[in-house]
Amino acid sequence: MAVCEVSPRVSRSVAVVVPAVPAGPGRRAERLGVRRMAVAKLAGACHEETGKYLRREPARDDFGFELFRRAICERDQAAWEAVFAEYRGMVRAWIRRHPASAAAGEDDQYWVNRAFERFFIAVGPERFGAFPSLAALLRYLKLCAHSVLLDEARAQGGTYVDSLSQHGDEAGEAPDVAGYALGQLAGEDLWAAVQGELQDEADRLVARLCLVLGLKPREVYQRHPERYADVAEVYRVKRNLLDRLRRSPAILAFIG
């Protein structure tokens, strides 16, 4: 399905992860009501809830989730256009913040389109059940946005990709390309591939706390001083893990 060029409805460059509404006696009827909504009304409700989240107000995720479900499982073109309109501003922000974007060689809209196309092809009706929430779908969309840039970097000879693993920040942590590619982890297949590269409990803690929860090595050490000698050891474990992930055939096959 081609990605349609429509005006973005999300103007702020943030990753929206809208919390689900807690289950209750009327939740089933509520879900049925969402399923019966017309696409235009559903898109309007989704946009309104996104606005609430951006204002740090309680918000629902079921309107956005239903738009994705119809677009992917029912191949509903109108729903797909609504998804693209609502979230392309977010994808553009992910593209611009990725370290490989400077060497990508195309404008932002090109990479936004490629990211949505990869997402649509990779998920499909048969895999939709692996994503239980809007947050999980958006995390995977972010992964697709990063992976199309990394493909281009590798196609240019790998020079830029290799240079990323050599670049460190002020704290001495190398922002390895695998870390950017993984972003927020989503999908059972990807997480299984990551787990296959974990060698011990130190690796498992770093994978869960750094890659999934986004904690810094210093925060990991503060939580588990019994597991690591010092903060420097956490940095070392993380660098080694990301290097293995960057070179892992299973990871490269998944994101490629």
Residue 154 confidence (pLDDT): 65
Per-residue pLDDT band for 244 (boundaries 50, 70, 90) equals: confident
48/134 same-domain check: yes
Token pair belonging to 101? 């974007």
CB-facing half-sphere around the CA of 56: CA atoms within 13 A: 0
228 has a pLDDT exceeding 60: yes
**pLDDT top residue among 17 and 149:** 149
177/151 same-domain check: no
151/174 same-domain check: no
Sign, CA torsion 95/101/102/104:
negative
Whether 140 maps to a domain, the answer reads: yes
139/33 same-domain check: yes
149/174 same-domain check: no
194/135 same-domain check: no
For the chain, how long is the longest CA-to-CA vector?
57
Mean of pLDDT values over 182-208: 71
Residue burial 63-72, b: 16+ Cβ < 10 Å; e: rest: bbbbbbbbbb
Residue 231 confidence (pLDDT): 92
Q: Which domain holds residue 229?
A: 170-255
Mean of pLDDT values over 51-63: 86
Residue type, 36: R
Whether 191 maps to a domain, the answer reads: yes
180/110 same-domain check: no
Contact 239, 228 (CB under 8 A): no
If one counts the domains in the chain, the total is 2
Contact 16, 53 (CB under 8 A): yes
130/191 same-domain check: no
35/150 same-domain check: yes
Averaged pLDDT score across all residues of the chain? 74
Please state, as a whole number, how many other Cβ atoms lie within 10 Å of the Cβ of residue 3: 19
Contact 89, 141 (CB under 8 A): no
Whether 31 maps to a domain, the answer reads: yes
Quickly list DSSP for 60-116: --HHHHHHHHHHHHS--HHHHHHHHHHHHHHHHHHHHHSTTGGGS-S-HHHHHHHHH
| 155, 190, 217 - which closes a domain | 155
Residue 82 confidence (pLDDT): 95
Per-residue pLDDT band for 37 (boundaries 50, 70, 90) equals: very high
Contact 236, 230 (CB under 8 A): no
